[in-house]
């Protein structure tokens, strides 16, 4: 039997189209079109030309242009174009701030005001409530457990024998390959190289430390140099090699990332006294634990990679506000949330293996994003690990708040009050 939601979808399509008209709509259209000419280094003139063209082919208005290409944005067009091609302006996302979030970590130590960029009402209030409770309890303990951004080049051979001989050769080339990779970067270091054989294909798990940068581009360039050195010197015939074999988990959830990490693996915890749970979260330790057991069961039955409530909310908001690669939320939002009784109190922790953040590089130098890092006090060299710890602490606060809200039956009411009926 066809599921009801599928049947309803088909019914709606049939109400709008018959089969012949659908076929006509889906037929390839090879009519000529004008491509938007690419511009890498933007200025006022190139932005204006793009908007003129968009006005010819779309429904854009002068108000649309003024919203994206405002005077302040145009003054910095060349700066922005270092991070994007075909630049036409900037999008203004509302930014809220929570704090202080007290962190007592190996790398992060202090009270942090945290900027969060989001269009979801209630999100900032929720994270702020969790941060207030955690800070009242003395702060969040944090530690970077290990770090390493991986790239996984793939090599193809004529058969399993050649693949094995290739791995044998690689095993004796550690120093030379490290030198080839690190010749491209002052900050990146190749810290491990692990081969994975699948018959005639070999993946190399190349793990790099990246200093204070998130390091995605850094490790790609370094890995490319290493692979070219391999191709030039390897005595085994390589049929083909690729800079990435889709094994690394780059911008996607994967078991490899969950178990071995990609970026910085961070653990954060706080013990909330029962009185703080009742006064500042509006619920009880027992009620939070009861709901936590249900949520854990739901995570297991649905096949989550990890078990957590909503890391992605805090990650996306912080990444946007501080110039991180927002697509990395796909892999960063994995991990494990735990809540356990400690006498009458509540122990809460998160362990996140794939936090990909940087205090330098990427979008961190753009004006608004640099301001976000300045609000945190974590802009520039020497702050990458601390930023990762604050990120984990933030996600812990979000877990505390949402579990408390659902346990107390306040979740829907909060969204109605702060989102729909504001």
Task: Compute the distance between CA of residue 330 and CA of residue 129 in angstroms, rounded to an integer.
Answer: 25
Q: Which residues are catalytic?
A: 120, 325, 415
Cβ atoms within 10 Å of 352's Cβ, excluding its own:
28
Token pair for 163: 């693949």
Q: Please report, for residues 51, 70, 82, 101, 357, the alpha-carbon distance to residue 316 in angstroms, rounded to integers and kept in the order given.
A: 29, 25, 22, 18, 11
31 Cβ contact partners less than 8 Å away, ≥ 6 residues apart: none
Which run of H or E residues covers position 292? helix 285-302
- Helix or strand (DSSP H, E) at 297: helix 285-302
Cβ atoms of 210 and 112 closer than 8 Å: no
Q: For strands 306-307 and 335-342, give the pairing.
A: parallel
| C-alpha–C-alpha distance, residues 139 and 167, integer Å | 48
β-sheet bridge partners, residue 140: 103
Measured CA to CA, the distance from residue 134 to residue 347 in angstroms comes to: 11
Distance (Å, whole) CA 402 – CA 311: 11
Tokens read off for 311: 């890391």
Tokens of 254: 């994967």
**Alpha-carbon torsion 236, 237, 243, 245, what sign?**
negative
The beta strands (E) that lie in 37-165 are given as: 95-105, 109-117, 140-151, 154-156
* Nearest CA among 83, 81, 138, 75 for reference residue 111: 138
DSSP string over 216-254:
HHHHHHHHHHHHHHHHHH-SSPPSEEES--S-S-TTS--
């Amino acid at each position: 039997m066809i599921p009801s939601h599928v049947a309803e979808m088909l019914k709606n399509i049939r109400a709008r189209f018959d089969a012949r008209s659908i076929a006509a709509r889906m037929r390839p259209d090879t009519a000529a079109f004008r491509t938007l000419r690419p511009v890498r280094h933007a200025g006022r003139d190139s932005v204006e030309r793009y908007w003129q063209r968009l006005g010819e082919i779309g429904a854009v208005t002068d108000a649309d242009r003024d919203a994206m290409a405002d005077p302040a944005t145009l003054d910095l067009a060349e700066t922005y174009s270092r991070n994007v091609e075909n630049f036409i302006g900037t999008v203004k996302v509302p930014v809220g701030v929570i704090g202080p979030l007290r962190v007592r970590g190996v790398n992060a130590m202090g009270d942090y005001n945290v900027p969060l960029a989001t269009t979801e009402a209630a999100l900032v209030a929720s994270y702020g409530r969790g941060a207030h409770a955690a800070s009242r309890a003395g702060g969040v303990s944090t530690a970077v457990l290990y770090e390493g951004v991986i790239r996984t080049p793939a090599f193809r051979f004529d058969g399993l024998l050649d693949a094995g001989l290739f791995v044998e050769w690689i095993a004796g080339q550690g120093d030379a390959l490290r030198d080839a990779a690190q010749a491209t970067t002052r900050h990146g270091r190749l810290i491990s190289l692990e081969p994975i054989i699948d018959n005639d294909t070999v993946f190399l798990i190349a793990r790099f430390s990246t200093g204070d940068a998130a390091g995605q581009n850094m490790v790609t360039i370094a890995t490319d140099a290493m692979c070219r050195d391999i191709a030039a010197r390897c005595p085994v015939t390589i049929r083909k090699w690729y800079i990435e074999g889709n094994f690394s988990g780059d911008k996607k959830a994967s078991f490899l990332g969950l178990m071995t990490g990609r970026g910085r693996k961070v653990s954060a915890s706080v013990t909330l006294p029962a009185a703080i749970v009742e006064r500042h979260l509006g619920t009880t330790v027992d009620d939070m634990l009861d709901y936590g057991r249900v949520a854990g069961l739901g995570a297991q039955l649905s096949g989550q990679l990890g078990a957590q409530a909503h890391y992605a909310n805090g990650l996306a908001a912080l990444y946007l506000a501080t110039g991180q690669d927002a697509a990395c939320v796909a892999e960063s939002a994995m991990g494990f949330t735990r809540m356990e009784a400690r006498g009458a109190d509540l122990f809460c922790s998160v362990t996140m293996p794939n936090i990909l953040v940087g205090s330098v590089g990427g979008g961190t130098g753009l004006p608004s994003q640099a301001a976000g890092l300045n609000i945190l006090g974590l802009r520039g060299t020497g702050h990458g690990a601390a930023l990762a710890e604050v990120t984990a602490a933030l996600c812990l606060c979000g877990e505390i708040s949402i579990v408390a809200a659902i346990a107390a039956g306040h979740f829907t009411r909060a969204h109605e009050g702060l989102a729909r009926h504001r």
